[in-house]
């Protein structure tokens, strides 16, 4: 999103036992099985609701998955080298930003070269073992307003004015012409049908890739704001109205369009951006027409308006706590897994923003099955939203996003921690009967463990450990269900 100064007024409105070292090369059948494991992340096959009421993604073995990744492809070209680097750093998710304007630049004329490009990106992801969430991206509607998303031929302004603000791009959303364009997109039958056909065309092109996680159906949905669009009360009322009427109608159309050609992909709905201000979504539940269990999810963003406006983060503002309170009820009610599609400040070199990164990384495992940080690029001092410095290393303050994490847990995951100063990582998990023979997998990024790692397991004397290809695998073949064990990783 990258919100600027248009919405901060809304915030003011809303505020009126022993440890046994386990060798990493055990001579056992379990170890041999671990050696044969692929480095590719397992694809989600279903969900499980854990005792805390959360619905989590699981693989075919019943392991609970955690996906972490980066956004790519908004205005730049994705290459295999970039996909490979993302995978080598321990990331398991690529949120691929695509635009309708590129899929169908002229009415009824699909760009086959662009579709082949998307197919190649998914092929590279297949090869390097990461999952892809295809994000149908828009910012300020589309190129008719100097941004990206909806093609110009599908932009209807009713002749209303558009005067861009070079100092505050987000305020362009409130321009009369943009408001009209969104209204027509939601309401005009021919545009509804054209959008559905474009989604089906992409889904037909990409179906069958083992890396295809699914689709984020509409990035940062916006809509008409009756009355003064800068009035926070009007913004709030318009957001609620959009999420109760026009937006769910769009999501139902797009779900049907994708499902007509692909029964396997996961489909994620987004709330409006006001969730970042602690406003719970008003979206209804959705029905998945696929055979079998639903494959639907919730994909909010995690941005602080003040930080987006250029301020250093203030921990006393309660942003994290308000966001967590606002984000949990909807997915719990509708039993949806959560993926945070975007998050992260433009820079983390200031004390507040550096703390914000740490707090967000610590917060998201409490309500989400994964996240994709904004944005995969290199710039001096992590300029803009780039996650890396100019030399490709983690940008100052953004190192927590590159930390080790448990990407698949054979059991119920508990607290997870990492201390970069010592290189010590800890995971507590509770053994489950249905997954006692599966492997728990923990990423070991080279940025955290440049000289290798050692693994120990408490309260599981027969645990089997395997370290290879940047992944630590732990198996608890005879640990009694309900037993809580602690996995500790230290620098080698």
Answer yes or no: do 281 and 179 share one domain.
yes
CATH number at residue 270: 3.20.20.80
Expressed as residue numbers, the domain containing 341 is 57-402
Q: In this structure, is residue 454 part of a structural domain?
A: yes
Question: What DSSP state is assigned to residue 110?
Answer: -
Answer yes or no: do 181 and 280 share one domain.
yes
Question: What DSSP state is assigned to residue 73?
Answer: -
Residue 144's pLDDT is 98
Whole-number Å distance between alpha carbons of 52 and 365: 13
Task: Count up the domains in the chain and report the number.
Answer: 2
Peptide bond into 375 cis (omega under 30): yes
Residue 38's pLDDT is 73
Answer yes or no: do 251 and 189 share one domain.
yes
Angle between helices 176-187 and 246-259 in degrees, nearest 10: 50
Residue 1's pLDDT is 52
pTM of the model: 0.93
Answer yes or no: do 275 and 217 share one domain.
yes
Answer yes or no: do 338 and 309 share one domain.
yes
DSSP letter for each residue of 349-361 = -SHHHHHHHHHHH
Q: Which of 393, 442, 449 is nearest to 419 (CA)?
A: 449
Computed on alpha carbons and rounded to an integer, the radius of gyration of the chain in Å comes to 23
325's torsion region: left (phi>0), alpha (psi -120 to 50) or beta? alpha
Residue 19's pLDDT is 33
Q: With DSSP H G I counted as helix, E B as strand and the rest as coil, what are the percentages for the chain, rounded to 5? A: 35, 20, 45
Answer yes or no: do 119 and 268 share one domain.
yes
Q: In this structure, is residue 1 part of a structural domain?
A: no
Answer yes or no: do 464 and 415 share one domain.
yes
CB-CB contact of 213 with 42 (8 Å):
no
CATH number at residue 475: 2.60.40.1180
End-to-end CA distance of the chain: 40
Whole-number Å distance between alpha carbons of 12 and 344: 22
Whole-number Å distance between alpha carbons of 83 and 209: 15
DSSP letter for each residue of 217-274 = -SSS------S-TT-HHHHHHHHHHHHHTHHHHHHHHHHHHHHTT-SSSEEEE---GG
Answer yes or no: do 349 and 320 share one domain.
yes
User: Is the torsion defined by CA of 118, 123, 125, 126 positive or negative?
Assistant: positive
* Secondary structure element (H or E) that encloses residue 334, with its range: helix 329-334
pLDDT digits (tens), the chain, 492 positions: 554 434 444 434 333 322 333 333 332 333 333 333 578 999 999 999 998 999 999 999 999 999 999 999 999 999 999 999 999 999 999 999 999 999 999 999 999 999 999 999 999 999 999 999 999 999 999 999 999 999 999 999 999 999 999 989 999 999 999 999 999 999 999 999 999 999 999 999 999 999 999 999 999 999 999 999 889 999 999 999 999 999 999 999 999 999 999 999 999 999 999 998 899 999 999 999 999 999 999 999 999 999 998 999 999 999 999 999 999 999 999 999 999 999 999 999 999 999 999 999 999 999 999 999 999 999 998 888 999 999 999 999 999 999 999 999 999 999 999 999 999 999 999 999 888 789 999 999 999 999 999 999 999 999 999 999 999 999 999 889 999 999 999 998
Q: In this structure, is residue 46 part of a structural domain?
A: no
Answer yes or no: do 225 and 364 share one domain.
yes
Whole-number Å distance between alpha carbons of 85 and 90: 9
Answer yes or no: do 363 and 436 share one domain.
no
CB-CB contact of 445 with 488 (8 Å):
no
Other CB atoms within a 10 A radius of the CB of residue 406 amount to 24
Residue 37's pLDDT is 55
Domain stops at, among 402, 417, 449: 402
Answer yes or no: do 299 and 425 share one domain.
no
Residue 492's pLDDT is 86
Phi, psi of 407 (to 5 degrees): -85, -20
Answer yes or no: do 397 and 418 share one domain.
no
Other CB atoms within a 10 A radius of the CB of residue 13 amount to 15
């Amino acid at each position: 999103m990258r919100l600027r100064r248009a919405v901060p007024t809304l915030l003011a409105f809303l505020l009126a036992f022993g440890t046994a070292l386990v060798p990493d090369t055990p001579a056992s059948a379990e170890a041999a099985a671990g050696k044969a494991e692929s480095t590719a992340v397992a694809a989600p096959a279903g969900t499980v609701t854990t005792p805390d009421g959360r619905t989590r993604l699981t693989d075919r073995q019943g392991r609970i998955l955690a996906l972490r990744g980066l956004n790519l492809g908004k205005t730049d070209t994705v290459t295999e080298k970039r996909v490979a680097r993302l995978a080598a750093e321990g990331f398991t998710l690529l949120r691929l930003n695509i635009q309708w304007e590129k899929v169908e630049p002229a009415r009824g004329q699909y760009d086959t070269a662009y579709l082949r490009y998307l197919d190649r990106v998914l092929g590279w992801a297949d090869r390097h073992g990461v999952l892809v969430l295809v994000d149908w991206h828009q910012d300020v509607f589309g190129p008719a307003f100097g941004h990206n998303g909806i093609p110009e031929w599908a932009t209807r302004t009713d002749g209303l004015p558009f005067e861009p603000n070079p100092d505050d791009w987000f305020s362009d959303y409130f321009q009369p012409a943009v408001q009209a364009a969104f209204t027509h997109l939601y309401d005009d039958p021919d545009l509804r049908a054209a959008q559905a056909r474009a989604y089906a065309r992409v889904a037909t092109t990409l179906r069958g890739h083992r890396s295809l996680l699914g689709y984020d159906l509409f990035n940062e949905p916006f809509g008409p704001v009756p009355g003064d669009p800068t009035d926070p009360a009007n913004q709030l009322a318009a957001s609620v109205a959009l999420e109760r009427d026009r937006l769910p109608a769009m999501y139902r159309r797009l779900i049907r369009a994708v499902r007509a050609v692909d029964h396997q992909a996961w489909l994620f709905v987004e709330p409006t951006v006001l969730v970042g201000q602690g406003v719970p979504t008003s979206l209804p539940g959705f029905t998945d027409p696929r055979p079998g269990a639903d494959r639907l999810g919730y994909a909010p963003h995690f941005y602080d308006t003040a930080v987006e406006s250029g301020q250093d983060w203030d921990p006393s503002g309660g942003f994290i706590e308000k966001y967590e309170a606002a984000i949990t009820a909807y997915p719990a009610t509708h039993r949806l897994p959560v993926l945070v599609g975007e998050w992260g400040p433009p820079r983390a070199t200031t004390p507040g923003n550096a703390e914000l990164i740490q707090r967000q990384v610590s917060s998201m495992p409490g309500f989400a099955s994964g996240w994709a940080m904004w944005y995969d690029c290199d710039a001096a001092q992590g300029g803009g939203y780039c996650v890396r410095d100019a030399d490709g290393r983690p940008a100052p303050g953004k190192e927590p996003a590159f930390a080790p994490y448990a990407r698949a847990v054979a059991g119920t995951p508990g607290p997870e921690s990492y201390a970069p100063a010592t290189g010590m990582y800890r995971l507590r998990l509770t053994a489950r009967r249905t997954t006692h023979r599966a492997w728990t997998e923990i990423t070991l990024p080279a940025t955290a463990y440049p000289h290798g790692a050692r693994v120990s397991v408490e309260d599981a004397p027969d645990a089997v450990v395997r370290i290879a290809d940047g992944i630590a695998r732990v198996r608890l073949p005879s640990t009694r269900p309900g037993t809580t064990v602690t996995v500790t990783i230290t620098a080698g």
